[in-house]
């Protein structure tokens, strides 16, 4: 009997439906001919708790840290015992096993750890399914690989799991016990990803709170030129008081010049014209979709992930959603027209977009060299019955379909114009953009980025019709929201000061993974470290105090991003896991030595004071500075050790 072990019941059903023969259900499995398909329920196993290694570890004590297992143990999750028993029984009757976990690091881990835990010693094949439609699953079944090819991926996932346990268990116990000494009765959870994400928000809030607005002044002049009118902006010279962004800090020079401008004659001294062709945005990865869905529809990252899972598993309208890739396999290009016509035929909006598509166009999205274990999110071709979808499901599906349809539209073609005028010996600049071919852009927005300038010729004159000085004020940056925090997690190198580390992160950029980023935000909210104020995410008093009490390296992104680099080397280059874990243990000993009740007590006091003083505001237009209030305290009551 051939036994296929899928990651989830939905995938098991899709595999069974793609096999020749009539499916027959039995407890915990589906039988089709001589093949039995069973499933996990996500992770059936988890890292054993500390007291599984030594009963003395059941009591939390500082003098037992760090806890360092010599031989790692897994234990069944409480609700998974029944399914684990079913797989154990099926394995005894199997002569061939197929690993059908999702095509990513965690998918490799959660099925393989079950196979090894239950003692299977025979050959294992690997089935990679990224699309639950029957033809796609049938193609995948015809391309089984040897699971040994994916051992580096498994070792990387196993190393990640063990490292998370070491880091979270030891630091959470240390700071929770220190917190009790400082008067805080509750768990202080520390994790390798969640804590640096919290650090991003805490630092942003502190910048906003500490921001002092500064006035600056801009001067514009409306010019009549030979074939129309335009507005130009004064560019003051360095002899005037300017900030580091070239903004004028004193009103008098602008006001004095403004008085002399009406009726003044100017001349166009420099004219730069550049034609640009911008290709369509690529199809979505999960994180890119979460950013756009939050901006366009106000959908939280967690809801986007859950919606994508529903579109993938329940409705089978999209391909595997937890993807970090924005490219599509080249073999999908030939079938793209049929796939999109099938997917879009039930929706007026999608059909309208499809009518403008030219399927002879081949965009940069079709690139096998850019596709790894999975490809960009795309429609499967199954017709989308919008009446059966929720509003959120329909909105997310349209975004996914739109970005694939856009690959068959022309590039956005523009003519960008920069004009520099000399008026009364001063420099005034204007810029505009003329859209030559809108290409894909109407699928995304009808708004022009910059209005066009009238036709201009270098050397022509212009007469000032009107002018004015605008009094402006610098503003703090906006607080993080779901979209901006996901984007920050994707591009974490921007928040790293060390140029050498930033260079290293270019190819290994990111906090968390496509599958975990939304959950990290929700975990921080649930544990009382972040609070939502409208769309804004703010750090609470407790979250701010935790970051202040930790060594800076724990709350900075460098450490966890470099972890991902080491894990990537294990997965992609078959590097040994031992040096990575040994380095982590050495770091842990240093970090544990920094736990200090006095520092935490002061951090809690300081955070309370900052919360009391901070103004209540949930948004602000972005400018040069930084501000925000800490949120309300919510203390976790359950003893929960963190990853």
- 185-202 pLDDT tens trace: 899 999 999 999 999 999
Residue 615 has pLDDT above 50, yes or no: no
Structure confidence at residue 506 (pLDDT) = 63
pLDDT tens track for 127-144: 998 777 788 899 999 999
Nearest CA-CA partner of 564 in 485, 506, 611: 506
131-140, 271-280, 530-539 — which is least confidently predicted?
131-140
Q: Is residue 619 part of a domain?
A: no
Q: Is residue 150 part of a domain?
A: no
Confidence of residue 113 (pLDDT cuts 50, 70, 90): very high
Same domain, 168 and 264: no
The CATH number of residue 509's host domain is: 1.10.460.10
Q: Is residue 638 part of a domain?
A: no
pLDDT tens track for 433-457: 999 999 999 999 867 667 899 999 9
Residue 640 has pLDDT above 60, yes or no: no
Structure confidence at residue 448 (pLDDT) = 62
Q: Is residue 138 part of a domain?
A: yes
Mean pLDDT of 469-487: 95
Same domain, 354 and 441: no
* Alpha helix (H) residue ranges in 363-481: 391-405
Same domain, 264 and 325: no
Q: Is residue 618 part of a domain?
A: no
Structure confidence at residue 619 (pLDDT) = 38
Same domain, 7 and 139: yes
CA distance to 7, 322, 478, 514, per residue, from 483 (Å): 29, 17, 12, 13
In contact, 440 and 413? CB cutoff 8 Å: no
Mean pLDDT of 464-469: 97
Residue 496 has pLDDT above 90, yes or no: no
Range of the domain at 228: 215-279+414-473
Residue 289 has pLDDT above 90, yes or no: yes
Structure confidence at residue 491 (pLDDT) = 85
Same domain, 421 and 275: yes
Q: Is residue 454 part of a domain?
A: yes
215-219, 532-536, 564-568 — which is least confidently predicted?
564-568
Same domain, 196 and 220: no
Global pTM? 0.84
Q: Is 384 helix (H, G, I), strand (E, B) or coil?
A: coil
pLDDT tens track for 60-70: 999 999 999 99
CA distance 321 to 131: 9
Q: Which is more confident, 522 or 632? A: 522
Residue 635 has pLDDT above 90, yes or no: no
pLDDT tens track for 334-386: 999 999 999 999 999 999 999 999 999 999 999 988 887 679 999 999 999 99
Residue 437 forms beta bridges with which residues?
413
Residue 612 has pLDDT above 80, yes or no: no
Q: Is residue 435 part of a domain?
A: yes
Same domain, 27 and 134: yes
Per 3-state DSSP, what percentage of the chain is helix, strand, and coil (rounded to 5)? 45, 20, 35
Indicate the number of domains in the chain: 4
Structure confidence at residue 131 (pLDDT) = 77
CA distance 380 to 492: 32
Nearest CA-CA partner of 413 in 212, 274, 506, 546: 274
Same domain, 465 and 591: no
Of 95, 116, 143, the residue at which a domain comes to its end is 143
164-168, 359-363, 396-400, 568-572 — which is least confidently predicted?
568-572
Q: Three-state SS string across 79-127, please? A: HHHHHHHHHHHHHHHCCEEEEECCCCHHHHHHHHHHHHHCCCCCCEEEC
CA distance 480 to 616: 15
Same domain, 501 and 541: yes
The CATH number of residue 459's host domain is: 2.70.20.10
Confidence of residue 81 (pLDDT cuts 50, 70, 90): very high
Mean pLDDT of 532-546: 94
Residue 162 has pLDDT above 90, yes or no: yes
Structure confidence at residue 10 (pLDDT) = 85
Residue 146 has pLDDT above 90, yes or no: yes
The CATH number of residue 368's host domain is: 1.10.290.10
Structure confidence at residue 42 (pLDDT) = 84
Of 445, 473, 501, the residue at which a domain comes to its end is 473
The CATH number of residue 91's host domain is: 3.40.50.140
Same domain, 335 and 464: no
pLDDT tens track for 99-110: 999 888 889 999
Same domain, 309 and 270: no
Structure confidence at residue 438 (pLDDT) = 95
Residue 262 has pLDDT above 70, yes or no: yes
Structure confidence at residue 618 (pLDDT) = 38
Residues 6+ apart with CB under 8 A from 259: none
Q: Which residues are marked as active site?
A: 320
Residue 639 has pLDDT above 90, yes or no: no
Same domain, 301 and 397: yes
Q: Is residue 168 part of a domain?
A: yes
Using CA atoms of 103, 104, 105, 109 in order, give the dihedral in degrees to the nearest 10: -40
């Amino acid at each position: 009997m051939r036994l296929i072990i899928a990651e989830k019941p939905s995938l098991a059903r899709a595999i069974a439906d793609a096999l020749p023969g009539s499916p027959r259900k039995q407890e915990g499995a589906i039988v089709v001919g001589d093949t039995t398909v069973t499933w996990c329920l996500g992770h059936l196993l988890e890292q054993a708790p500390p007291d599984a290694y030594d009963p003395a570890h059941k009591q939390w004590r500082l003098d037992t840290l760090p806890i360092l297992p010599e031989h790692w143990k897994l234990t069944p999750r409480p609700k998974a015992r029944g399914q684990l028993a079913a797989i154990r029984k099926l394995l005894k009757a199997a002569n061939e096993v197929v690993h059908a976990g999702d095509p990513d690091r965690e998918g490799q881990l959660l099925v393989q750890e079950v196979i090894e835990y239950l003692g299977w010693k025979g050959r294992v094949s690997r089935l990679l399914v990224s699309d639950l439609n029957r033809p796609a699953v049938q193609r995948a079944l015809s391309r089984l690989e040897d699971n040994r090819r994916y051992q580096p991926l498994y070792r990387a996932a196993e190393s990640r799991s063990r490292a998370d346990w070491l880091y979270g268990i030891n630091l959470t116990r240390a700071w929770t016990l220190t917190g009790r000494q400082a008067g805080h009765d509750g768990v202080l959870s520390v994790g390798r990803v969640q804590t640096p994400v919290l650090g991003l928000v805490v630092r942003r809030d502190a910048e906003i709170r500490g921001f002092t607005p500064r006035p600056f002044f801009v001067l514009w002049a409306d010019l009549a030129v030979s074939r129309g009118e335009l507005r130009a902006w004064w560019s003051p010279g360095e002899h005037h008081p300017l900030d580091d962004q070239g903004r004028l800090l004193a009103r008098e020079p602008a006001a004095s010049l403004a008085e002399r401008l009406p009726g003044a004659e100017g001349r166009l001294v420099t004219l730069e014209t550049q034609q640009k062709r911008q290709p369509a945005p690529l199809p979505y990865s999960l994180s890119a979709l979460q950013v756009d869905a939050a901006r366009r529809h106000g959908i939280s990252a967690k809801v986007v992930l859950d919606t994508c899972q529903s579109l993938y598993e329940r409705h089978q309208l999209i391909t595997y959603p937890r993807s970090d890739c924005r490219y599509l396999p080249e073999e999908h290009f030939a079938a793209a027209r049929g796939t999109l016509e099938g997917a879009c035929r039930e929706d007026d909006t999608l059909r309208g977009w499809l009518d403008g598509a030219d399927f002879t166009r081949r965009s940069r999205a079709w690139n096998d060299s850019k596709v790894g274990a999975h490809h960009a999110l795309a429609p499967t071709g199954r017709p989308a019955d919008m009446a059966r979808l929720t509003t959120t499901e329909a909105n997310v599906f349209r975004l996914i379909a739109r970005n694939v349809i856009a690959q068959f539209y022309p590039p956005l073609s523009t003519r960008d114009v920069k004009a520099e005028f000399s008026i009364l010996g001063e420099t005034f600049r204007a810029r505009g953009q003329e859209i030559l071919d809108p290409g894909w852009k109407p699928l995304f927005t009808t708004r022009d980025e910059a209005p066009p300038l009238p036709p201009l010729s270098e050397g022509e004159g212009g007469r000032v019709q009107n002018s004015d000085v605008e009094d402006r004020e610098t503003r703090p940056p906006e607080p993080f929201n779901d979209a901006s925090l996901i984007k920050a997690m994707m591009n974490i190198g921007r928040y790293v000061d060390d140029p050498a580390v930033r260079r290293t992160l270019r190819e290994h950029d990111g906090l968390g993974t496509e599958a975990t980023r939304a959950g990290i935000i929700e975990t921080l909210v649930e544990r009382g470290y972040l609070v939502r104020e409208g769309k804004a995410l703010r750090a609470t008093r407790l979250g701010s105090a935790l970051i202040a009490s930790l060594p800076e390296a724990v709350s900075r992104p460098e450490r966890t991003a470099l972890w991902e680099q080491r894990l990537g080397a294990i997965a992609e280059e078959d590097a040994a896991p031992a040096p990575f874990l040994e380095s982590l243990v050495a770091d842990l000993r240093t970090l544990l030595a920094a736990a200090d009740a006095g520092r935490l007590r002061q951090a809690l006091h300081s955070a309370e004071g900052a919360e009391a003083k901070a103004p209540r505001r949930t948004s602000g237009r972005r400018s040069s500075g930084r501000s925000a209030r800490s949120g309300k305290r919510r203390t976790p009551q359950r003893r929960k050790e963190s990853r």
